[in-house]
């Protein structure tokens, strides 16, 4: 077919609902044209973004130039990676050279970075096409995703509901088929919460696995960068491209490259999943509780042994995470608060200012508790392969709602949404959010798997086993 010789067939809207792996296969077989694919995707973004507000900047010209180059490369047989010719979105906290990077803030609404973040360079080296910059809770300091100087991101399953944050635009865009994968950041759950609320897969890799150079910091000892995708396999494919040592990032870990797709499809019979006996299952929404019971049963049917475990010091660990987050976030933004007090979203500014009251001894005590956290989790991992927990205690609330009733008490949503996700930012352990179906109102529910340090492959193995077992249901 003449069209195939030129890089692929014309593209219909139906392919925008395919997963990354299917798109990759078709593009590399020259059954899909990267140029046509990108053109159709950009048209869909233009229409759907008016409803969801997931993109801050749409990179029409840059995307089409990259797509044309990808098409030429693939026609020549110069295929750089499975991501070659596949459109991506980038959270607008991650620098893109010469492309507006706003952090969701008026302070940076016209900021043009002088170089790409390390992860953006990695995607470009892999041949990925970047179609735009995705909305974020201002400076990534919020778990709801509805506070940005560019407006709230709306949940694709109900536009009146929050997406979760701070990687709100990334979650919504992938779920709505506006890109085949996106990059997010996670300091207390900012990949996993929107992944759960938008029904997609989100991975927070081990601290140091993926470079943070060129990503605007929130709390440097807690920040992570990771992929958000439609499927587990897609996610592993993207992490293959992102992972690697970066001498320019002092937190980067020297680890040999591995193929994170290698264990997919190998089964999990004889595996052991740990279920915490406290903290993670306290005061759960009834629909999340029911869904967790279904997830556990699926794993039992797959031949997995379920073992109930006690993780010591969880309340202390959770509080230590909040102390470190408040202190480091204030330190990061103190100069902006002093110099530009009127350019902030009020809620974010007020939250940052609370960090000024954290005293040195409290921060140091939190760092000591971090050591206890490693001990507590490592002790459990002597007995199990992975831990299974809910992602959040509650379903998505209406946009801008801030109070939630739990255990007959009112709680601020920021203390609730990251209750189950924040501890792994303190430990730096890898976690993946996996979709587990929908509520009675049609809103997505996800669960979380946590693993040993640098054991992402095992997390993908267990996540994929669940995904495959439930795919046709």
**Contact in structure between 242 and 203 (CB atoms under 8 Å):** no
Among 24, 81, 105, 166, the one annotated catalytic: 166
The bridge status of strand 431-438 relative to strand 409-412 is unpaired
Nearest to 180 by CA among 86, 50, 76: 86
End-to-end alpha-carbon separation of the chain, Å? 37
pLDDT band at 473 (very low <50, low <70, confident <90, very high): low
What was the pLDDT predicted at 1? 23
Q: For residues 5 and 300, which has the higher predicted lDDT (pLDDT)?
A: 300
pLDDT band at 407 (very low <50, low <70, confident <90, very high): confident
Alpha helices, DSSP H, located in 53-115: 60-75
Strand-pairing partners, residue 388, are 449
**Contact in structure between 405 and 397 (CB atoms under 8 Å):** no
**Contact in structure between 144 and 403 (CB atoms under 8 Å):** no
The bridge status of strand 272-276 relative to strand 201-204 is unpaired
What was the pLDDT predicted at 405? 87
- The three-class DSSP label of residue 132 is strand
- The three-class DSSP label of residue 68 is helix
**Contact in structure between 154 and 52 (CB atoms under 8 Å):** yes
pLDDT band at 3 (very low <50, low <70, confident <90, very high): very low
**For the residues 465-473, what does the mean pLDDT come to?**
89
Q: Which of 88-92, 283-287, 330-334, 407-411 has the lowest mean pLDDT?
A: 407-411
Strand order in 431-438's β-sheet?
Answer: 55-58, 129-134, 87-91, 181-186, 224-229, 201-204, 431-438, 444-450, 386-390, 272-276, 305-309
For 246, the token pair is: 């970066």
**Contact in structure between 213 and 117 (CB atoms under 8 Å):** yes
Look-up: residue for tokens 């004889």? Answer: 270
Examine the residue annotation and report whether 91 is marked as an active-site residue of this protein. Answer: yes
For 187, the token pair is: 């300091």
> How many Å is the Cα radius of gyration of the chain?
21
pLDDT band at 9 (very low <50, low <70, confident <90, very high): low
Q: Residues of the chain with pLDDT > 70: what percent?
A: 97
Among 24, 81, 91, 168, the one annotated catalytic: 91
Interhelix angle 20-28/60-75, nearest 10 degrees: 50
Examine the residue annotation and report whether 247 is marked as an active-site residue of this protein. Answer: no
**Which domains can be identified in the chain, with CATH numbers?**
1-473 (3.90.1300.10)
**Contact in structure between 435 and 202 (CB atoms under 8 Å):** no
**For the residues 367-395, what does the mean pLDDT come to?**
97
| Mean of pLDDT over the chain | 96
**Contact in structure between 176 and 153 (CB atoms under 8 Å):** no
Distance, in Å, from the CA atom of 229 to the CA atom of 257, rounded to the nearest integer, reads 21
How many residues are recorded in the chain?
A: 473
pLDDT band at 406 (very low <50, low <70, confident <90, very high): confident
Exposed, middle or buried by CB within 10 Å (0-12, 13-18, 19+), for 353?
middle
pLDDT at 60 over 80: yes
Strand-pairing partners, residue 450, are 387, 431
CA 390, chain centre distance (Å): 16
pLDDT band at 408 (very low <50, low <70, confident <90, very high): confident
For 261, the token pair is: 């797709």
pTM of the model: 0.96
Model confidence over 148-180: pLDDT tens digits? 999 999 999 999 999 999 999 999 999 999 999
Q: What is the DSSP string of 103-168?
A: TTSGGGTT---SS--HHHHHHHHTT-EEEEEE--SGGG--SSS---TT----BTTBTTB---SSSH
Examine the residue annotation and report whether 472 is marked as an active-site residue of this protein. Answer: no
Distance, in Å, from the CA atom of 471 to the CA atom of 464, rounded to the nearest integer, reads 10
Among 190, 211, 252, 376, the one annotated catalytic: 190
pLDDT at 42 over 70: yes
Model confidence over 276-320: pLDDT tens digits? 999 999 889 999 999 999 999 999 999 999 999 999 999 999 999
Exposed, middle or buried by CB within 10 Å (0-12, 13-18, 19+), for 266?
exposed
What was the pLDDT predicted at 5? 41
**For the residues 461-473, what does the mean pLDDT come to?**
92
């Amino acid at each position: 077919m003449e069209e195939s010789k030129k890089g692929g067939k014309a593209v219909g809207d139906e392919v925008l609902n395919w997963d990354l792996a299917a798109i990759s296969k078709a593009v590399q077989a020259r059954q899909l044209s990267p140029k046509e694919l990108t053109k159709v995707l950009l048209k869909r973004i233009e229409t759907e973004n008016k409803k969801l507000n997931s993109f801050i900047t749409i990179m029409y010209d840059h995307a089409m130039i990259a797509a044309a180059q990808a098409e030429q490369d693939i026609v020549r047989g110069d295929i750089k990676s499975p991501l070659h010719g596949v459109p991506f979105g980038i959270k607008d906290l991650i620098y893109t050279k010469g492309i507006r990077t706003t952090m969701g803030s008026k302070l940076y609404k016209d900021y043009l970075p002088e170089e790409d973040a390390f992860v953006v360079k990695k995607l470009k080296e892999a041949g990925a096409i970047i179609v735009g910059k995705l909305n974020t809770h201002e400076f990534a300091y919020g778990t709801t995703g509805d506070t940005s100087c560019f407006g709230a991101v709306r949940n694709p399953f109900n536009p009146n509901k929050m997406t979760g944050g701070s990687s709100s635009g990334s979650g919504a865009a992938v779920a709505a088929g506006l890109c085949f994968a996106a990059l997010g950041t996670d300091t207390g759950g900012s990949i996993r919460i929107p992944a759960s609320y938008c029904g997609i897969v989100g991975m927070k890799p081990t601290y140091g696995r993926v470079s943070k150079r060129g990503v605007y910091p929130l709390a440097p000892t807690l920040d992570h960068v990771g992929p958000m995708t439609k499927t587990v396999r897609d996610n592993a494919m993207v992490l293959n491209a992102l992972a690697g040592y970066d001498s320019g990032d002092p937190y980067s870990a020297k680890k040999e490259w591995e193929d994170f797709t290698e264990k997919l499809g190998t089964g999990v019979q004889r595996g052991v999943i740990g279920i915490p006996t406290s903290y993670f299952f306290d005061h759960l929404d009834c629909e999340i509780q029911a869904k967790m019971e279904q997830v556990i049963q699926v794993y039992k049917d797959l031949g997995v042994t379920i073992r109930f475990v006690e993780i010591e010091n969880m309340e202390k660990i959770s509080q230590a995470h909040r102390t470190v987050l408040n202190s480091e976030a204030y330190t990061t933004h103190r100069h902006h608060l002093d110099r530009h007090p009127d350019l902030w979203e009020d809620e974010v500014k007020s939250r940052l200012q609370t960090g000024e009251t954290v005293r040195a001894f409290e921060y140091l005590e939190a760092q000591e508790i971090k050591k206890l956290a490693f001990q507590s989790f490592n002790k459990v991992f002597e007995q199990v392969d992975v831990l299974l927990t809910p992602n959040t205690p509650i379903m998505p609330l209406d946009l801008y709602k801030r109070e939630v009733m739990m255990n007959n008490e009112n709680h601020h949503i920021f203390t609730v949404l990251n209750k189950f996700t924040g501890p792994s930012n303190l430990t730096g352990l890898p976690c993946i959010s996996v979709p587990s179906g929908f509520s009675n109102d049609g809103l997505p529910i996800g669960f979380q798997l946590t693993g040993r340090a640098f054991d992402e492959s095992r997390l993908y193995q267990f996540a994929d086993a669940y995904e495959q077992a439930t795919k046709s249901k």
